[in-house]
A = this chain, B = another copy of it.
């Protein structure tokens, strides 16, 4: 038993547990056996989503939900209508996370457990982390690892990513072009997330870094509508939310 874990596990059993359940990259069969069990046992499931759209997390988990379980959608107030780095966006999001944590906390205080469904790996760029930092310590929080979105994309694209002593860098395409170029030049393998409108800039950076010829573009990896192609051949313009760029490593290969 780890020292770090004890803090939260020592809470009295009269409050409920928040269980962050990693769902994997999108294919419902890539949910772990443990996650499938936790979802099936849950009397209350919560998930993040956008108003007026089916929740992606819920779709992945659907087949594992217990009949009659209570659902608690946590709907983002704003998404792409406001620039991502504007003060308005940051402040709206902070309020939303605070309110979501309060809603979850209110249920946990009644001694009821909540399974919070998380796409991918809950601890890699996941919304779950905003609930974790707000609720851990006050309540028991358990975390079930999931297949990361990028791991799903490696398999979908059939790309061995890192060999031997390769260094892998995971970076957001939101960095400026010079920074992206430098990062791509100084790593053996790379995964680039948050492509969106940054795609043309990313391709320029890849060309400058000399990695464009081996870069792969993956859209909706492991999901319906999966598309995989050489990044150099992807038409320019924006890339959708579920897309990623891979630069496989070429390290030591006995």
Chain A: residues with CB nearer than 8 A to chain B? 2-5, 8, 22, 24-25, 27-34, 36-37, 90-91, 93-94, 97, 121-126, 129-130, 132-133, 136, 141, 143-148, 151-152, 154-172, 174-175, 183, 187, 194, 216, 222, 226-229, 252-254
Beta-carbon contact of A254 and B129 below 8 Å = no
Tell me whether A143 and B158 are in contact (CB under 8 A).
yes
Interface of A is mostly: mixed
Copies assembled:
2
Which 5 residue pairs across A and B have the least CB separation, nearest first? A2-B228, A129-B160, A29-B34, A93-B254, A145-B155
* Docked pose: A162 CA to B254 CA in angstroms: 33
Q: Are B136 and A158 closer than 8 Å at their CB atoms? A: yes
Task: For residue A187, give the distance in angstroms from its CB to the closest CB of chain B.
Answer: 8
Q: Which of B22, B121, B228 is A5 in contact with, Cβ under 8 Å?
A: B228
Known pairs A36-B33, A158-B4; A254 contacts B90 (CB<8 A): yes
Q: A94-B254, A147-B147, A158-B143 are known contacts. Are A168 and B165 too (CB-CB below 8 A)?
A: no
